[in-house]
């Protein structure tokens, strides 16, 4: 950008629908938005400095229907010196409002930046972020948020504002993903390996003929002479087996209900 083309001081005032006024540069707004670019090229009326359409000698543009705080954040993002690390978007609702205003004024640069970043809220509000990502066709953010949904038990999923904006097929797909991840997590426990078995004081050898996992290690239950269980503590072998089976079964159920823990 050639800063010689831009005035060093603001040359326009934007007035929000709630009466907040913000000084800005026409040049920056024109670069960021074709809507503003067109607006500033239209013939302007000859208003006197004392006119309500002027303030401090600057023309005032009324932004009817636009919230002042959202407008301020949008103007900050149009500034080349804006650093999101210093002024982060703090809530998902704020993100939605700024993103909607950026779309309204066709600010592609701001929209692109925001479209990449609803993932900031994926862990806190994963269901809402999934919906927003689906709406904006952002597959990467949708995957990240869907993974965070695994930390919320399905029975605790609640109705959220963005639900009306996605299809039943999208919700069904998310639910299927949740179920499959739960089953996969539980399957890891069900197919416990030799090292895990040693941790509880016994060694199991998988039955090659039936390809059964540890959950069927009781030879009487499977009726297989090839399945061998060598216990290091014969005196407490029954208690060990029962404890391990109950623990593993409970762990499998917990993983199916909640495949992932929150960080």
- The whole-angstrom separation of Cα 74 and Cα 97 is 10
pLDDT tens digits, one per residue of 199-235: 544 444 444 444 444 443 343 333 334 444 454 555 5
> What pLDDT is recorded for position 160?
86
Q: Which helix (H) or strand (E) holds 15?
A: strand 12-16
Mean pLDDT for the stretch of residues 112-118: 79
Helical axes 237-257 vs 168-190, angle rounded to 10°: 160
Look over the chain and give the mean of its residue pLDDT values, rounded to a whole number: 76
Three-state SS for 21?
A: strand
14 pairs with which residues across the strands?
22, 61
* Beta strands across the sheet bearing 12-16: 21-24, 12-16, 58-63, 54-55
Tokens of 89: 């978007």
Three-state SS for 251?
A: helix
* pLDDT grade for 31, boundaries at 50, 70 and 90: very high
β-strand pairing of 202-205 with 58-63: unpaired
pLDDT tens digits, one per residue of 126-177: 999 999 888 888 888 888 889 989 888 888 888 888 888 889 899 899 989 9
Domains of the chain, first to last: 1-84 (3.30.710.10), 190-257 (no CATH)
Does 208 or 16 have the greater pLDDT score?
A: 16
Tokens of 66: 């636009």
- Residue 245: exposure state from Cβ atoms within 10 A (0-12, 13-18, ≥19): middle
């Amino acid at each position: 950008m050639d800063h010689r083309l831009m005035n060093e001081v603001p040359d326009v005032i934007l007035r929000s629908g709630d009466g907040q006024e913000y000084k800005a540069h026409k040049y920056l707004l024109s670069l960021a938005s074709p809507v503003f670019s067109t607006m500033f090229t239209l013939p302007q009326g000859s208003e006197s400095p004392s006119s309500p359409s002027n303030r401090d000698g600057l023309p005032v543009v009324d932004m009817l229907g636009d919230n002042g705080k959202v407008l301020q954040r949008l103007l900050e993002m149009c500034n080349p010196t804006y650093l999101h690390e210093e002024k982060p978007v703090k809530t998902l609702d704020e993100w939605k409002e700024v993103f909607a205003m950026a779309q309204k004024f066709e600010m592609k640069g701001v929209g692109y930046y925001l479209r990449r970043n609803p993932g900031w809220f994926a862990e806190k509000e994963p269901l809402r972020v999934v919906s927003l990502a689906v709406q904006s066709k952002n597959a990467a953010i949708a995957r990240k948020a869907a993974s965070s949904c695994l930390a919320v038990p399905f029975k605790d999923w609640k109705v959220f504002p963005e639900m009306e904006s996605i299809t039943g097929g999208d919700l069904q797909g998310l639910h299927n993903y949740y179920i499959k991840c739960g089953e996969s997590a539980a399957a890891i426990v069900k197919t416990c390996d030799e090292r895990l078995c040693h941790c509880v004081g016994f060694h199991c050898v998988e039955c090659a003929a039936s390809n059964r996992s540890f959950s069927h290690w009781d030879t009487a239950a499977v009726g297989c002479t090839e399945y061998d269980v060598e216990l290091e503590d014969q005196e407490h072998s029954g208690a060990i087996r029962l404890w391990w089976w109950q623990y593993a079964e409970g762990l499998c159920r917990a993983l199916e209900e909640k495949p992932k823990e929150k960080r």
